[in-house]
């Protein structure tokens, strides 16, 4: 049998087929890999997560409040801070205060963060403190809604309820909280000598059957505590920075810089200060306003330059449950945080307006808000009326009504003070 001759053409054809086969399978393989990679990439995009509880704080939605926008002819937008993990705008402040304290060495894991709060900041501190390995001790006025104390305790923090007195009194809830931090620090400092003391206990004579070590006064805190840190939300500028670095930039980005005015009530003043300063640094034409509840002196300070009411001189009011039913806003002194604010004017709101606004928003928009959020919305309408139609106004929806059930959203409580809502629309603000 004659041998088969393989010509050059056959070799070329075979080589060509081989290359085509290689390219085909390589292309197919690449395509499969590409599809697999693309599929994997798509899956990864779907698994967009945040790193723990703390990373979930902030970047809250900015929503159009339809009923108020339609009624005023301006775009009234609310920043939904009630959607933060701890349920309020104070989550931002709690994180900033704790992180700065840890970075500066004023607080260590295992330490106790103390605070005097009407509720929301305390809830936020109790929420985020465990994420940093810390504990929380809160002093709260006993006229605050009881559900706030219940939430704080459920979060694992310790709660002291005390009677409301003037800030100048040593037993004002803020001053007590400051003392608690000092006590925790004293306890931590003594821990260095505690071991030696225990070693020597065996050699100590007993009095009435007890050693000196056993006779010490019981502490509010565990002996393992690494120290205490007073959050000091009113004067600690970490409060202001939380909003200057977070809330303000978010509002600017979400409105694409198309904002004419910002309005909010003030308690510590951190939100109003941080947001107003950031926005006016971006555009000096943005107007920033205060809305102030009954019993607070800030409206007079902003509009007249002197903090007083017709009843009392500056700094001498004694806040009590009859000043206002709103919680967490209104004050009769200038805090370090408030002094950072850039404010163009102010408005006075009433309890009745806040109550009516909360019911209006629930009925028209499905928004169930707390007292400070309702007051902020009163302020937004006031600003819209002052500026006229065609403007964009932003305010803060601080928290929901869920932590105001026993007072602000309790019909019987409201009836006691003649605050039963009766409005059909926005006639309580002069809009028909």
Question: What are the tens digits of pLDDT across the range 377-404?
Answer: 999 999 999 999 999 999 999 999 999 9
pLDDT(321) > 70: no
pLDDT band for 7, please (50, 70, 90 cuts). Answer: very low
Q: Tally Cβ neighbours within 10 Å of residue 184.
A: 26
Fold type of domain 108-196+221-226: Rossmann fold (3.40.50)
Tell me the helix, strand and coil percentages in the chain, rounded to 5.
Answer: 50, 15, 40
User: Would you say domain 57-83+242-312+322-423 falls under CATH 3.40.50.1100?
Assistant: yes
pTM of the model: 0.82
Per-residue DSSP letter, 82: G
Q: Give 430's contacts (C-beta < 8 A, 6+ positions apart).
A: 385
CA pair distance 202, 200, nearest whole angstrom = 5
Task: Give the per-residue pLDDT at 150.
Answer: 92
Element spanning 169, H or E: none
> Where are the domains positioned within the chain?
57-83+242-312+322-423, 108-196+221-226
Question: What are the tens digits of pLDDT across the range 109-144?
Answer: 999 999 998 779 999 999 999 999 999 999 999 988
Question: What are the tens digits of pLDDT across the range 181-232?
Answer: 999 998 888 765 554 455 455 445 443 444 434 334 346 787 778 889 999 9
pLDDT band for 48, please (50, 70, 90 cuts). Answer: confident
CA pair distance 293, 311, nearest whole angstrom = 15
- Measured N-to-C along each axis, helices 90-104 and 120-128 cross at an angle, to the nearest 10 degrees, of 50
Task: Give the per-residue pLDDT at 188.
Answer: 84
Say yes or no: do domains 57-83+242-312+322-423 and 108-196+221-226 share a fold.
yes
């Amino acid at each position: 049998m004659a041998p088969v001759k393989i010509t050059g053409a056959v070799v070329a054809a075979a080589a060509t087929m081989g290359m085509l086969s290689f390219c085909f399978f390589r292309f197919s393989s690449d395509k499969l890999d590409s599809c697999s990679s693309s599929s994997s990439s798509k899956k990864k995009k779907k698994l967009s997560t945040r790193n723990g509880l703390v990373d979930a704080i902030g970047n809250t939605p900015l929503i159009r409040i339809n009923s108020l926008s339609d009624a005023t002819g301006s775009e009234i937008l609310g920043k939904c801070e009630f959607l933060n993990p701890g349920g309020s705008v104070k989550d931002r402040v709690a994180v900033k205060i704790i992180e700065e304290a840890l970075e500066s060495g004023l607080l260590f894991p295992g330490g106790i963060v103390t605070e005097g709060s009407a509720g929301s900041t305390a809830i936020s501190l109790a929420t985020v403190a465990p994420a940093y390995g810390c504990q929380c001790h809160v002093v709260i006025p006993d006229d605050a809604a009881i559900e706030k104390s219940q939430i704080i305790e459920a979060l694992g923090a310790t709660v002291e309820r005390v009677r409301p007195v003037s800030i100048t009194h040593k037993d004002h809830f803020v001053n007590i909280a400051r003392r608690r931090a000092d006590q925790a620090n004293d306890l931590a400092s003594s821990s260095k000598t505690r071991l030696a003391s225990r070693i020597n206990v065996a050699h100590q004579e007993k009095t009435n059957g007890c050693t000196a070590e056993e006779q010490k006064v019981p502490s509010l805190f565990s002996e393992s505590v690494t120290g205490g840190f007073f959050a000091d939300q009113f004067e600690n500028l970490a409060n202001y920075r939380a909003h200057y670095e977070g809330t303000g930039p978010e509002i600017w980005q979400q409105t694409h810089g198309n904002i004419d005015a910002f309005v909010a009530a003030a308690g510590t003043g951190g939100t109003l200060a941080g947001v107003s300063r950031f926005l006016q640094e971006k555009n000096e034409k943005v107007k920033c306003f205060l809305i102030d509840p009954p019993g607070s002196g800030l409206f007079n300070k902003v509009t007249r330059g002197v903090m007083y009411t017709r009843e009392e001189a500056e700094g001498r009011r004694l806040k009590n449950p009859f000043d206002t039913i709103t919680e967490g806003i209104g004050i009769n002194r200038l805090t370090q945080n408030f002094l950072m604010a850039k404010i163009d004017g102010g408005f006075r709101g009433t309890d009745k307006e806040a109550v009516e606004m909360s019911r209006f928003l629930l009925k028209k928009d499905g928004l169930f808000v707390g007292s400070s959020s309702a007051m902020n919305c009163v302020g937004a309408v006031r600003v819209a009326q002052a500026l006229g139609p065609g403007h964009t106004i932003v305010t803060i929806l601080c928290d929901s009504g869920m932590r105001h059930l026993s007072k602000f959203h309790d019909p019987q409580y409201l009836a006691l003070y003649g605050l039963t809502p009766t409005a059909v629309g926005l006639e309580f603000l002069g809009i028909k």
